[in-house]
C-alpha cells in the first residue's frame, strides 16, 4: 500500500471513529436528558449516588468528619490514653473579655480539652467542664450540633469563629484523625469515589500529656493506617496536603517547614494549601511571593493549591494567587469579576475547585442563580466539584452533583468532564494519574451502558444522604 493510500485509509478510519464516538455521545446525551425529564428527585439522586466519581480535591479532613464520628472516635481514644473534657456551662470564672478574642473564647460552650489541660484549670473553671463520655442526652445532642451548621441563622461567622475553636484539642490525637480519614474513605467509596486529596497536616499533634508528636511520627501513623485492610477495601487512593493559615504572623515559616517536610515525604504528601478567610487582609496573596520564589530555588516536588476568590468583593486575589505559582484555585467565586483572568483561564492549565454547598451556607452567594460555576464550566475553564467541609454541612459528594444537575441542568458529558478533571488536575504522579483516569473512564462507560438502557432499576446501591439535601430539597433518604 502506498503512503498516500495508507494515509487516506487511516484518515477514513479516524473519521469513522469520530462519527461512532459522536453517535455514542448523542445517544448518551439523549438518554440522560430523557431521564431528567421524567425522574423524581429520589431517582436522580439514586443514579448520581451510584455514578462513578473521580476525586475530591478540596476538603479539610477535620471539617469533613460528621459530628457523630467525632464523638464516637473521641471516646475510643481512651485506647491510646486520650481523655477529653467539654465545657457545658459558664460560671463567669474570668473577668469579662479574658480570652474572649483568642483562639478559644472563654464564653464558648462545648470547647474540648485534653484531660491534661483540664487538670491545669482552676477549680472554678473545672466545674464548667464534664468528661465527654459523661454527657447526658440533651448535652450530647447540643455537642453534636455545635460543630455543624444546623440552623438557618448560622453562616460564615459561626463557621469561622466557633466550629474550629470548639474542636480545639479534640484533634490532638493523630490516631483519631487517621480514623476520621478511613471513615471518609469508606463513605466516599460507597459513593463511587476513587481518589482523595485531603488537607490533613502532620504537624501539631500531641500525646495525651500535651507533649508534641514529631511530624515524621504522625506521617508514619497515617501510612500504617492506610495499609490496613479496611482502608484498602475502599479502593480509594489517598494523597495529602499540608495547609497553612494565611493570616498567621508566622505563615512564611510554616511554608518553609512544610515544603521541606512534603519534599521528604512525597509518597504521602504532595502539596501545600493556603487556607483561611480572605477578608482578613493579613493573608493577602502578594505577601507570600518572596518566600515561594525562595522555596522554588530548592524544591522540585511540591505542588501548590490556594484558596482564592472566596470573598464578597471584586479583587485581583486569583490573579495574584496564580502569580504565586498555584496550579489550582480553591473556590474561585469572584473570578467572574475579573474579565482578563476569565479569558486567560479558559482551557487550562489551572483548575478551579468548586464547592457549591460551602459557598451557599457561608453566604458567598444568596442562592444558586448567583453562582458562576456554570459559566466557568461552559466557557472551558477547568472545574471539578468538591465537598470542602462536608461534616459541618452534613452533606456528601453526591449532594454537590445533585445540586449541580438540579440548579444548572448538567448534561451527562459535563458530569463526565467533572469526574475526569478531578483526576487530571490532581497532584498525583503521572503514572498513578493515568491509571486512575483509565479506571474512572472504564467504570463510567460500564455504568453508562447499564443506566442508559435500564435506568435505575438495576442499581443495587442504596443511597445515603444527610440533613443538607433533606432541608434544602426536601429529599430525605436513609442517613448513615
- Domain edge (last residue) among 152, 168, 184: 168
pLDDT digits (tens, 9 = 90+) for 373-395: 999 999 999 999 999 999 999 99
Q: Please state, for a pLDDT cut of 70, what percent of the chain lies above it.
A: 91
198 assigned to some structural domain: yes
Shared-domain flag, residues 189 and 153: no
Q: 159 or 425, which is more confident?
A: 425
Shared-domain flag, residues 125 and 245: no
Q: Report residue 14's pLDDT band, with 50, 70 and 90 as the boundaries.
A: very low
The whole-number pLDDT of residue 103 equals 65
The whole-number pLDDT of residue 8 equals 39
72 assigned to some structural domain: no
Residue 1 in this model has a pLDDT that exceeds 80? no
The whole-number pLDDT of residue 277 equals 86
Q: 62 or 278, which is more confident?
A: 62
Q: How far is CA 311 from CA 74, 274, 317, 329, in A?
A: 34, 15, 9, 13
Shared-domain flag, residues 221 and 309: yes
The whole-number pLDDT of residue 7 equals 34
- Overall average pLDDT of the 415-424 stretch: 98
Q: 103 or 440, which is more confident?
A: 440
Q: Report residue 16's pLDDT band, with 50, 70 and 90 as the boundaries.
A: very low
Residue 22 in this model has a pLDDT that exceeds 90? no
pLDDT digits (tens, 9 = 90+) for 101-151: 456 788 999 999 999 999 999 999 999 999 999 999 999 999 999 999 988
Shared-domain flag, residues 285 and 417: yes
Average pLDDT, the chain: 91
Shared-domain flag, residues 255 and 160: no
Q: How far is CA 155 from CA 77, 105, 160, 346, 364, in A?
A: 31, 18, 9, 32, 10
The whole-number pLDDT of residue 161 equals 87
176 assigned to some structural domain: yes
- Domain edge (last residue) among 108, 138, 168: 168
The whole-number pLDDT of residue 9 equals 37
109 assigned to some structural domain: yes
Residue 100 in this model has a pLDDT that exceeds 70? no
The whole-number pLDDT of residue 102 equals 53
Count H helices, E strands: the chain?
22, 12
Q: How far is CA 253 from CA 144, 304, 429, in A?
A: 35, 16, 27
Q: Is 275 helix (H, G, I), strand (E, B) or coil?
A: strand
pLDDT digits (tens, 9 = 90+) for 296-324: 999 999 999 999 999 988 989 999 999 99
The whole-number pLDDT of residue 150 equals 85
Q: What one-character DSSP code corresponds to residue 249?
A: T
The whole-number pLDDT of residue 96 equals 53
Shared-domain flag, residues 288 and 377: yes
The whole-number pLDDT of residue 124 equals 96
Residue 21 in this model has a pLDDT that exceeds 50? no
The whole-number pLDDT of residue 312 equals 87
Shared-domain flag, residues 190 and 213: yes
145 assigned to some structural domain: yes
Shared-domain flag, residues 411 and 427: yes
Identify the CATH number of the domain in which residue 236 sits: 3.20.20.140
pLDDT digits (tens, 9 = 90+) for 253-287: 999 999 999 999 999 999 999 998 888 889 899 99
Residue 54 in this model has a pLDDT that exceeds 90? yes
Shared-domain flag, residues 313 and 379: yes
Shared-domain flag, residues 242 and 120: no
Range in 5-14, 243-252, 329-338 with the lowest mean pLDDT:
5-14
Shared-domain flag, residues 116 and 61: no
- Domain edge (last residue) among 108, 140, 168: 168
Q: How many domains does the chain divide into?
A: 2
Q: Please state, for a pLDDT cut of 90, what percent of the chain lies above it.
A: 83
Which residues neighbour 44 within 8 Å (Cβ) at sequence distance 6 or greater? 35, 36, 402, 405, 406
The whole-number pLDDT of residue 387 equals 98
Domain that holds residue 425: 48-65+172-448
71 assigned to some structural domain: no
Q: What one-character DSSP code corresponds to residue 212?
A: B
23 assigned to some structural domain: no
Relative to beta strand 303-308, strand 269-275 is: parallel
Residue 10 in this model has a pLDDT that exceeds 60? no
pTM here is: 0.92
pLDDT digits (tens, 9 = 90+) for 342-358: 999 999 899 999 999 99
Distance separating alpha carbons of residues 105 and 377, to the nearest angstrom: 42
Shared-domain flag, residues 321 and 392: yes
C-alpha cell at 122: 482552676
154 assigned to some structural domain: yes
Relative to beta strand 237-238, strand 240-245 is: unpaired
C-alpha cell at 249: 504572623
Q: Report residue 200's pLDDT band, with 50, 70 and 90 as the boundaries.
A: very high
The whole-number pLDDT of residue 29 equals 58
Amino acid at each position: 500500500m502506498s503512503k498516500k493510500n495508507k494515509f487516506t485509509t487511516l484518515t477514513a478510519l479516524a473519521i469513522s471513529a469520530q462519527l461512532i464516538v459522536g453517535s455514542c455521545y448523542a445517544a448518551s446525551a439523549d438518554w440522560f436528558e430523557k431521564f431528567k425529564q421524567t425522574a423524581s428527585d429520589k431517582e436522580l439522586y439514586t443514579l448520581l449516588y451510584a455514578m462513578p466519581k473521580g476525586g475530591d480535591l478540596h476538603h479539610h479532613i477535620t471539617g469533613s468528619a460528621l459530628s457523630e464520628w467525632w464523638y464516637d472516635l473521641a471516646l475510643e481514644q481512651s485506647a491510646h490514653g486520650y481523655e477529653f473534657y467539654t465545657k457545658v456551662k459558664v460560671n463567669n470564672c474570668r473577668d469579662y473579655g479574658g480570652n474572649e478574642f483568642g483562639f478559644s473564647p472563654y464564653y464558648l460552650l462545648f470547647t474540648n480539652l485534653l484531660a491534661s489541660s483540664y487538670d491545669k484549670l482552676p477549680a472554678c473553671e473545672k466545674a464548667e467542664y464534664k468528661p465527654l463520655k459523661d454527657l447526658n442526652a440533651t448535652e450530647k445532642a447540643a455537642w453534636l450540633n455545635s460543630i455543624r451548621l444546623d440552623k438557618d441563622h448560622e453562616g460564615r461567622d459561626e463557621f469561622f469563629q466557633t466550629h474550629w475553636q470548639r474542636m480545639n484539642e479534640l484533634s490532638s490525637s493523630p490516631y483519631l484523625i487517621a480514623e476520621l480519614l478511613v471513615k471518609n474513605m469508606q463513605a466516599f467509596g460507597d459513593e463511587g469515589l476513587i481518589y482523595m486529596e485531603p488537607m490533613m497536616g502532620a504537624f501539631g499533634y500531641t500525646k495525651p500529656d500535651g507533649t508534641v508528636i514529631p511530624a515524621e511520627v504522625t506521617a508514619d501513623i497515617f501510612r500504617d493506617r492506610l495499609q490496613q485492610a479496611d482502608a484498602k477495601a475502599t479502593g480509594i487512593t489517598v494523597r495529602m496536603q499540608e495547609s497553612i493559615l494565611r493570616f498567621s504572623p508566622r505563615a512564611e515559616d510554616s511554608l518553609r517547614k512544610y515544603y521541606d517536610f512534603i519534599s521528604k515525604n512525597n509518597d504521602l504528601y504532595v502539596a501545600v494549601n493556603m487556607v483561611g478567610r480572605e477578608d482578613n487582609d493579613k493573608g493577602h496573596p502578594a505577601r507570600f511571593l518572596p518566600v515561594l520564589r525562595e522555596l522554588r530555588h530548592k524544591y522540585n516536588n511540591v505542588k501548590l493549591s490556594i484558596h482564592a476568590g472566596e470573598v464578597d468583593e471584586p479583587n485581583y486575589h486569583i490573579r495574584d494567587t496564580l502569580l504565586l505559582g498555584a496550579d489550582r484555585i480553591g473556590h474561585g467565586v469572584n473570578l467572574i469579576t475579573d474579565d482578563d483572568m476569565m479569558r486567560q483561564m479558559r482551557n487550562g492549565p489551572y483548575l478551579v475547585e468548586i464547592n457549591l454547598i460551602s459557598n451557599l451556607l457561608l453566604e458567598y452567594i444568596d442562592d444558586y442563580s448567583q453562582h458562576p460555576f456554570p459559566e466557568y464550566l461552559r466557557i472551558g475553564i477547568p472545574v471539578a466539584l468538591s465537598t470542602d467541609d462536608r461534616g459541618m454541612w452534613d452533606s456528601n459528594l453526591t449532594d454537590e452533583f445533585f445540586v449541580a444537575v438540579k440548579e444548572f441542568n448538567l448534561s451527562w458529558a459535563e458530569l463526565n468532564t467533572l469526574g475526569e478533571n478531578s483526576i487530571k488536575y490532581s497532584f498525583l504522579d503521572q503514572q498513578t494519574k493515568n491509571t486512575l483516569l483509565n479506571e474512572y473512564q472504564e467504570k463510567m462507560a460500564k455504568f453508562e451502558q447499564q443506566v442508559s438502557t435500564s435506568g435505575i432499576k438495576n442499581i443495587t446501591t442504596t443511597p445515603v444522604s444527610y440533613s443538607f439535601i433533606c432541608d434544602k430539597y426536601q429529599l430525605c433518604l436513609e442517613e448513615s
